[in-house]
Structures are given as C-alpha cells and as structure tokens.
A and B are shown apart, each in its own frame.
Chain A
C-alpha cells in the first residue's frame, strides 16, 4: 500500500507541481495590491551579492533578468524563456560555445533611461568578471565564460571556453538583476546595495526597515498589459505562526517559501475554498554528514551503518505530515530526468523497503568495525525541517543501531562556523538547496575539493567520475555517470547521506491568481503575471 501510494504520488508529481483546488485560467483582472509575508530579513538589495530569499521575495519584482524560468511552466526544470531578450532562448552555436541574444527595444529603467545591450553587458561583466574587491557570489557558475560583447545596442554575445550544460541554467538564476550601466559608472559597484533602479514590473516605493517593502506598478514594463497588480507589499514576519495567521486573517494573501502540512490543513479547514493550495517537490535536501576525521566515522563501515539504519520510506510517510520534507530521492532533484528511479534507488544503502534487512546489515557492519555508537548530532537551530528531522534521525539510530545520540543544536552562525571552520562535530545535519535546477552543478557538494563539502572527506573514484561527467555532452551518458557517482558518494564510500527531500506547500488566498509554484522558493518571484480575483 505504502509502496503504491508513493509511486502514485511520484507519478503525479512528475513534470508539474501538484495543484489542489484550481488555478482558474480566466482572463486576468487588473488592480489591487498583493500583500505577502516574508520569513527572512533583507540584507542588501544587491542580487549579485546576496543569497537569501529574504532579499529575492521583496526585491526581485523590481528587476528583470536576461532569461528566466518560464512563469507559466515553472515546474519544468529546463523550460527557460526570454525576459529582456527577444524570441527564444538561443541554443549554442559553434559547438555550444557561442550564445547570441537579441535584446528587446522597449525596456526602460525606472528612472526613464532605455535599457540596451550595454547595460546587460555591464551587468554580466559585474557578475562574471567583477573587479578585484567587488563581490559577486555566483561568478563560479560562469567559469566557462570567456567573453561578453555588446555587438550593437540590441545584441549581446557570450563566448564560452568549452561547451557546458550549466551555462543557460546559470543565466536564468534569479539573482542576475540587470543594472543600468549609467548607475554602475556614476555610482560605482556598491550603490545597488542600498538603491534600486531596475527594469522590473514594479517600481520601488519604500522600505520600512524590518517591517515591509512597498512597490508600485511600472507602467512602462516591457511585457505590455503587465503587471496586473497596482502594487506589492512584502511584509516581514519572522515567526512561522504569524505568517500562517496573517493569511488566515487576510493581512497577507500568500507566503512564497512554504508551510508545514498541519498549517495547510488548518488554513483549509478554517477557510475552505477561500484557500488554494499549491504543492511541489523542492530543490532542497537535508543531508546527514559524518565527520570523516573523527573516529569512528573515519571507517566507511560505520558511515554506511548510519545511512543503512534510516528508514526513509517510513520517514517519508510520517514526517510528511508534520514537516516540510517528503520525497525519497538520491543526489538529484527527484523530478529531473537525471534522478534515480525508485528501482535504482532501492539498490542503494538505506533505500531498501526491507528496513529490517538493512538494519541487520548495519549492525553487522558495526560489529565488524567493533564500534558501539555514542555520539552527538550537530544540528541547526531551526525547526522546519532541521530539528524535526534531527529528532527523527536520533530515534532511527537508537532503534536501528542501539546508538546513544545527543543533539547539539546551534543557531545559524555558529552552526556554519562549526561546519566550515571548527569542524568539531561527529555527525551533522547539512543541506543543499539550489534555485534553478542544474543537476550537474548541484551535486558538486560531495566532491573532495568542494568548498561546501563539510565531511572533511571525499572519494577519489567519485571525483574521477565527476570529471568525466562535466565534459560529457550526451544526456544518456550523463545520466549513467550520475548513477555511478551517486552509488559512490551515498553508498560505497558514503561521503554524506541524503535523508529526505523537502516538499514545498504554498497555501494562499484563492483570489491570488496567475502565480504558479516552482520547485524552488527562489524562482518565479517577479510577480508580473500575478493578479487578484476580487
């Protein structure tokens, strides 16, 4: 039964977000202000530097990007469309090393200046080749880029050093805000941290620090007739309960990150069809990372025992009722063609439906290693889903291995300091959360050279497989190589384990139309196609 349900759920999920209620495809109405709540705080406004959705949700609607995830089909991980470019997203020329974009002629910055290819070039130069001392947090995604040239006012060309499947997804990153060359030239590279002048569907009105950001419709927006909303107001609400209550009390219409399942149920129960729920798999996954430099986790048998003892299928069934995790998956985002099928999964350590068998094997491994497990699980001081999953894991190890595990929870900054600098943990919860789905780039976390591989270990064989994968141009071969890589990093060498993939649940007021759930809370947040049915 469980098996069947999961299978059905997985099938239903493939390709599109699971949508409860209905998103009426009626003609959009204009007008109204969209109030939404944001659970994280805004650092600077500079998209090229920041990484948090606390900046994306309120600030993204003021900007455009060169290309973006298709707002009417955001669930498809490879459907990209033009934003300020014209026509289709170009397929590479010259063996995939040259990409030429035609730029729209009707794009205007909020200060009235028309936008040209020179602005796009200045922006992408800042992102890809920042001068020394200027921050650009994702320039590594553009390692392959050799040059960016504005051929004329309305055409821009990117030349790559080698063909790579990661270029177009990287270009669609929601952080690549297009800035005006004039602003960069006159105000320098720091100006955008505190000032906003974009080409997006909304114009910045005010930011009351810590409370809200307000935007008003941009009448000169390049997609004619859009945006439908007269304005937006992003209200800061760090407590989850407040965000849920805000939707219930109609102080806000939507929250874009995601709510735990019980809150969804409460809202639906209280408001019936006034609430619409959209759900989707999420390109975020919780990992369990043992510290390879700490005994006994230097022993691969012990590490494998840790992952073997976890009943992922059972956990999925129950935790999906109380936490924002659900899908059992391997190293790749579950709905991608590169992801392991349930069949392939079941052959990996800790993914068998026969949990008793797995645990027996785990105990055997521990016995061979001569180890009685007694350790600390290092975790991040955030409830959803970290602490819920942490508490569950501790119980899994107690039941499966007879291990005594204590939880050491730290607030985010010391949590990261422990992972990155002090490295004085036994086993830690870790996570991998990406925006645009880009499997080959997303799975680098297991490489022994990766800056965000906190296990202090790695696997030479896996590194070699990855080197091949990076240069491969054939999807079939890519998929096969990912399978080998996966088998190494989460099973044979057990660099780190995948626990459960996150599951995004967005209950919102039914009068919010046009917004479609994406597999990431970073995506589809420009809000130009959202309208209110009031």
Chain B
C-alpha cells in the first residue's frame, strides 16, 4: 500500500511542474501588464517613464526564462513572492480568502449531500415512476440554471420580499466576519451562496447516488437478501446504500475540490471575498504572481483530492494497486 502511495506521489511531480509551466506562459501570452493598468488604466495622465519604472520594480523587464526560474525557485525556498497589485505577500493575501472559500465549500457540500442522498435513493428505489422523473427534473434544473442568474434572483427576491413583509429591505452582509467572531452574521452572509451552489452540485451527486444504487440493487447479494424475505427498507439501508456510497463519496470529494477554487461567478454575485473573486481580480489586473500562485494552489488541492480518492479505492479494492 505505501509503495502504491509513493508511486502516486511521484507521479504528481510532473503534473505539478507541467501545471506551473502551463500557467506561467499562458498568463504571459496576454499582452499588457499590471503597471499599464494601474497607471494608464484610469484615463488620468500617465507618464510612460513611470510605467517603465513600475515594470522594472516588479521585475517585469526581465527575460521570461529568468522570471520563470524565479517563480520555481520560490517553491524551493518557500517564498511565494508578493502580489504585483498590492505588494503584500501572496501567502497573506491567499490566507485571508482561503478561510472563506473553505467555509463556503464545506457548507455547500453539506447542502449538496443533504439534498442528494435522499433524493438519489428515492429516485433509484422508485425508478421510472413519476417520483423518479420529478426528482431528476428537479436535480437537472439545478445544473441548468446559470449560477449568476440564480444569484441575482435570490438577492433581488430577498430585497423585495423583506421590504414587502417587514417594511425594510434586507440583504445578506457584504463583508466577511469569521464564524467564531459573529456566527449569526457569518451564516447570514454565507448561507445563500452555499444553498445556491449546493443545489447546483447536488444534481451531480443525486444522479450518482441513483445510478450507483441501481447497480448495487441488481447485484446478487441484494437479490439473495430479497429472496430471504428481508424487507425493502432494511435491504436498502443495510446492504445497498452502504455499498453504493463509494462512488458518491468520490464525486463529492472531487466537487469539493472544485468548489475551493471554482466559485468564480458565485463569489462575484454575492460579493464574497474568496479565492474565486481573487482569481478574477488578479487575472483582470494581470497580477501574474498572484494568479499563478492561486492557480497552483487550486491545482494542488485538486490533485491531492484525486490522490486521496484513488488511494481510498486502492485500499478498498486491492486489484487496483497491482494493475
């Protein structure tokens, strides 16, 4: 087992280096840089000499290959550098947002699981009945609705309905307070994006639960259980559901990894100061250093989640280890 894990860990190295090369050069293919945007992008007078000075100070005048090795060297000496926009260390900037993104990801995953598991089970048990159709329609509608559209409708709905019922329009807070400082305020801000994305992500998990359960229900031991006359509820609870959970857990883990960095649009709509918003802002500002470190973070989260899932599988199913 440890040999398998080691092998998988070694295989991550080329992936990570590849990702680093990919993101580094991809970013620099875009013309323009953070200095031009900062100084000329406001329409105010901008002195070309000042722009050149700013580029020099940020090392943007160096040859690409030098910049690239600087970037890689940062990993060796554990110095990820500073944001080119604010000048503060990247670690500091990301740290602030990480907390929020993690909380939203956890909450959204919880929402997704709460919706998906019961619906998936019902849908599988009542396969091809109208209940199945309603559940599937409901869950597919979740993927079909663009998240920004849903977000706009939620906030507008809150404003209009609270004003209608309580006289004063209410909307979720727009600045973040950690949950241990003020849990009510924290939750009243984050519950909405969590529900909006949780519903969305539940669609995939519902479908997974349904098909995994269907498959297990057809397997021999379930048939045996049925033949023994065990009642349906027990069969589903004790035998089928447990065995079909693995793929569901997999899909949830992978979705979770995506949630950490992929909430680009939702964070905009709900004004969440998370990793997705930071990503959009740093791409928008050509803050190369920030963007590449952020992307690498998301990639690391993602590949390690995948590794975790694979190891879990290998642990449960020894055949995989030796193939």
Residues of the A chain whose Cβ atoms lie less than 8 Å from the Cβ of B46? 51, 137, 451-452
* A284 interface contact, C-beta 8 A: yes
B42, A416: Cβ atoms under 8 Å? no
A451, B271: Cβ atoms under 8 Å? no
Task: Find residues 60-94 in chain B having any chain A CB closer than 8 Å to their own CB.
Answer: 85-88, 92-93
Given contacts A246-B171, A413-B37, contact A451 B47 (CB under 8 A): yes
A136, B50: Cβ atoms under 8 Å? yes
Residues of the A chain whose Cβ atoms lie less than 8 Å from the Cβ of B152? 241
Proximity string of chain A (30-48) to chain B, C-beta cutoff 8 Å, 1 when within and 0 when not: 0000000100011110000
Which stretch of A196-204, A247-255, A300-308 is in the interface? A247-255
B36, A413: Cβ atoms under 8 Å? yes
Taking CB as reference atom, which chain B residue is nearest A37?
A: B174
B40, A41: Cβ atoms under 8 Å? no
Residues of the B chain whose Cβ atoms lie less than 8 Å from the Cβ of A237? 174, 271
* B22 interface contact, C-beta 8 A: no
* B106 interface contact, C-beta 8 A: no
In angstroms, Cα B158 to Cα A209, docked, is 28
Proximity string of chain A (188-210) to chain B, C-beta cutoff 8 Å, 1 when within and 0 when not: 00000110000000000000111
Given contacts A245-B171, A414-B30, A418-B31, contact A139 B159 (CB under 8 A): no
Residues of the B chain whose Cβ atoms lie less than 8 Å from the Cβ of A245? 155-156, 159, 171
* B284 interface contact, C-beta 8 A: yes
A417, B42: Cβ atoms under 8 Å? no
Taking CB as reference atom, which chain B residue is nearest A424?
A: B31
B174, A252: Cβ atoms under 8 Å? yes
* B23 interface contact, C-beta 8 A: no
In angstroms, Cα B57 to Cα A236, docked, is 27
Give the Cβ gap from B134 to chain A, nearest Cβ, in Å.
Answer: 33
In angstroms, Cα B56 to Cα A133, docked, is 9
B92, A137: Cβ atoms under 8 Å? no
Give the Cβ gap from B257 to chain A, nearest Cβ, in Å.
Answer: 22
* A212 interface contact, C-beta 8 A: yes
Taking CB as reference atom, which chain B residue is nearest A140?
A: B47
A135, B54: Cβ atoms under 8 Å? yes
In angstroms, Cα B28 to Cα A417, docked, is 12
A137, B50: Cβ atoms under 8 Å? yes
Q: Interface range on chain A: under 10, 10 to 19, 20 to 34, or 35 or more?
A: 35 or more
Residues of the A chain whose Cβ atoms lie less than 8 Å from the Cβ of B281? 41, 210, 238
* B97 interface contact, C-beta 8 A: yes
* B44 interface contact, C-beta 8 A: yes
Which stretch of A93-101, A369-377, A430-438 is in the interface? A430-438
Residues of the A chain whose Cβ atoms lie less than 8 Å from the Cβ of B42? 51-53, 433
Which stretch of B114-122, B162-170, B217-225, B226-234 is in the interface? B162-170
Proximity string of chain B (16-58) to chain A, C-beta cutoff 8 Å, 1 when within and 0 when not: 0000000000000011111011111111111110100110010
Residues of the A chain whose Cβ atoms lie less than 8 Å from the Cβ of B43? 284, 431-434
Proximity string of chain B (167-196) to chain A, C-beta cutoff 8 Å, 1 when within and 0 when not: 011110111100000000000000000000
Given contacts A251-B174, A418-B31, contact A452 B155 (CB under 8 A): no
A236, B273: Cβ atoms under 8 Å? yes
In angstroms, Cα B87 to Cα A44, docked, is 7
Taking CB as reference atom, which chain B residue is nearest A41?
A: B281
B37, A138: Cβ atoms under 8 Å? no
Give the Cβ gap from A430 to chain B, nearest Cβ, in Å.
Answer: 9
B53, A135: Cβ atoms under 8 Å? yes
Give the Cβ gap from B247 to chain A, nearest Cβ, in Å.
Answer: 37
Given contacts A239-B271, A416-B36, contact A248 B31 (CB under 8 A): no
B271, A242: Cβ atoms under 8 Å? yes
Residues of the A chain whose Cβ atoms lie less than 8 Å from the Cβ of B155? 241-242, 245
Residues of the B chain whose Cβ atoms lie less than 8 Å from the Cβ of A139? 47
A137, B39: Cβ atoms under 8 Å? yes
Given contacts A140-B47, A209-B92, A434-B45, contact A420 B40 (CB under 8 A): yes
In angstroms, Cα B32 to Cα A372, docked, is 32
* B210 interface contact, C-beta 8 A: no
In angstroms, Cα B154 to Cα A173, docked, is 42
Q: Kindly identify which residue among B33, B48, B175 contacts A211, using a CB–CB cutoff of 8 Å.
A: B175
B44, A420: Cβ atoms under 8 Å? no
In angstroms, Cα B42 to Cα A140, docked, is 17
In angstroms, Cα B96 to Cα A211, docked, is 10
Taking CB as reference atom, which chain A residue is nearest B274?
A: A210
A44, B86: Cβ atoms under 8 Å? yes
* B286 interface contact, C-beta 8 A: yes
Residues of the A chain whose Cβ atoms lie less than 8 Å from the Cβ of B200? none
In angstroms, Cα B37 to Cα A51, docked, is 10
Give the Cβ gap from B266 to chain A, nearest Cβ, in Å.
Answer: 11
Give the Cβ gap from A7 to chain B, nearest Cβ, in Å.
Answer: 28
B38, A52: Cβ atoms under 8 Å? yes
A43, B38: Cβ atoms under 8 Å? yes
Give the Cβ gap from A142 to chain B, nearest Cβ, in Å.
Answer: 12
Give the Cβ gap from A428 to chain B, nearest Cβ, in Å.
Answer: 13
Residues of the B chain whose Cβ atoms lie less than 8 Å from the Cβ of A249? 158-159, 169-171
3 nearest CB pairs, A to B: A249-B171, A433-B43, A413-B32
A interface list, Cβ under 8 A from B: 37, 41-44, 49-53, 133, 135-141, 193-194, 208-212, 233, 235-239, 241-242, 245-246, 248-252, 270-271, 284, 411-418, 420-422, 431-435, 441, 451-452
Q: A236-B273, A270-B163 are in contact. List 6 more A-B contacts (CB 8 A).
A: A135-B53, A137-B45, A211-B175, A237-B174, A417-B31, A421-B31
